[in-house]
Structure 1
Amino acid sequence: MTAIDGTLKLDPEEARRVRQERFERIGRWVLPLAIMILAIWLWDRICVWNEIPQYILPRPGVVLTTLYNDAGLLFSALLVTLRITFLSLLLAVVGGVGLAVLFAQSKWVEMSFFPFAIVLQVTPIVAIFPLINIYVDNQTTKLLLCAWIVAFFPILSNTTLGLNSVDRNLRDLFKLNGATRWQQLRYLRLPAAMPYFLGGLKIAGGLSLIGAVVAEFVAGATGQSSGLASRIIEAGYRLNAPRLFAALFLISLTGILIFLVLSLISHLILRRWHESALKQER
């Protein structure tokens, strides 16, 4: 900066950087919004230009009207899906973090049990569900177990990676000062693993919703106490495309909100101390 006539003026390079940051802040919201509006407008125009009937491809306005008219049915189904989603995510966090801590304390335990976690991850849930259907009677438990299997592995793998990625010099320093395993875990390993855990949590949040919806599909859950996947199946059988699109819209919106909330939580936790959340200087 330079001072002229008692006022501060930015030099050209600093002014360019400030303008670029301002454009990026605006563009981060304006560009996606503009593209989304354009895509919706094209969707509507394609339906009009080609005279597509609404049971094949409804116009956006028809979808919004259906969402409003069927709000009671769709939002009650959404609550069922959200219950399965958040319960499975909670169980994935508890089980994944607990098992990751156990792995970090013993390499033998990690080598013995980590392959089983990989098997659960790589096996499609639609292939596992017939076994779950045989051994589990309660419908809610079936859905919860399927969603948990999908969401569990990202928490476990990321947290395990974080616990094992502690700086070796810091670990040796703790040992030289006589720190116990519990003290190393509490004051060194867990804080170091926090960014990895939060990254896995953001992935698992979306996967738990996907797992809940897929579980309802493969379970063929029906009735008043069923979730959004059942409403999609029902709408497909009845050729009620507007309701089908409205249910899909709710699922997508829910997934976006879950990701944004978890991203905000991650930012609030890491913003004061971790490089990934600190404002970078150009």
Structure 2
Amino acid sequence: FMALAAAVIVGVALAVLFTQSKWLEMSLLPYAVVLQVTPIVAIAPLIIIWAGDINLSLLICAWIVAFFPILSNTILGLNSADHNLVNLFQMYGASRWQTLRHLKLPAALPYFLAGLKISGGLALIGAVVAEFVAGTGGSASGLAYRILEAGYQLKIPRVFAALLMISLTGVAIFLVTSWISWLLLRRWHESALKREN
């Protein structure tokens, strides 16, 4: 949960900064893309060594995987505000802050929530992968380590039990993010309105 919360805070903050400054976006977005396309399995051992603390390294790995969908979707949403409305705001003398607050952020909300749904599952995957890597180093912590341990001992029912727990956690994350999305969009966005057909 902490990795997802950190991904939301950093992703939304950077998305707002990037849409306010194209120079900043062109300077820093390539680094975010590199983080996204580098397999977490490849960098998890380095993060575990550098962080020194297993829990911190799990948090960092989960954050890396969850961060990019929120960033990219929020940037897309902020840039997708109706240009006619942006021109109208400018015509009435609205400041950049007023345009951002009253037009661009509401326009970006559905995109952000779609990114949140994706990032919720990815954060879980990042944590599990990091736990697998940490588990091979002898640190017994979570369900991923239990899968490794049971697999080595050929205790297949335990492997399936741990897999089921991880899957149920992923489903719970998806249901919670879907509920949040429905709650925030139900009154005004086309995707959440009930149709009478």
TM-score range, shorter chain: over 0.9
For 1:199-214, list aligned pairs within 5 A: 199-214=114-129
Instruction: Tell me the residue number matched to 2:188.
Output: 273
d(CA) in 1 for partners of 2:161 and 2:32?
A: 36
TM superposition score normalised by structure 1: 0.67
Q: Distance in 1 between matches of 2:35 and 2:65?
A: 8
Match of 1:145 among 57, 60, 76: 60
In 2, Cα distance between the equivalents of 1:271 and 1:148?
Answer: 29
AA aligned to 1:143 is: L
Between the aligned residues of both structures, percent identity stands at: 69
Q: How many residues align?
A: 196
The one-letter amino acid of 1:249's match is L
Superposition CA RMSD, Å: 1.2
1:264 aligns with 2:175: no
- Partner Cα distance (2:33, 2:126) in 1: 17
**1:1-282 maps to which residues of 2 (within 5 A)?**
86-220=1-135, 222=138, 226-282=141-197
Using the alignment, how far apart are the partners of 1:135 and 1:218 within structure 2? 14
In the TM superposition, residue 105 of structure 1 has moved relative to its aligned partner by 0.5
Letter in 2 for 1:167: D
- Take 1:140 and 1:261, find their aligned partners in 2: how far apart are those partners? 24
What SS does the corresponding residue of 2:191 show, helix, strand or coil?
Answer: coil
Gaps (5+ residues) in structure 2? none
TM-score by length of 2: 0.96
Decide which structure has the larger Cα Rg and report it: 1
Cα deviation per residue 1:104-152 (whole Å; 9 max; x = unaligned)?
1111111111111111001101111232233221111111111100000
Distance in structure 2 (CA, Å) of the matches to 1:236 and 1:151? 28
Quote the offset at 1:222 in angstroms: 4.8
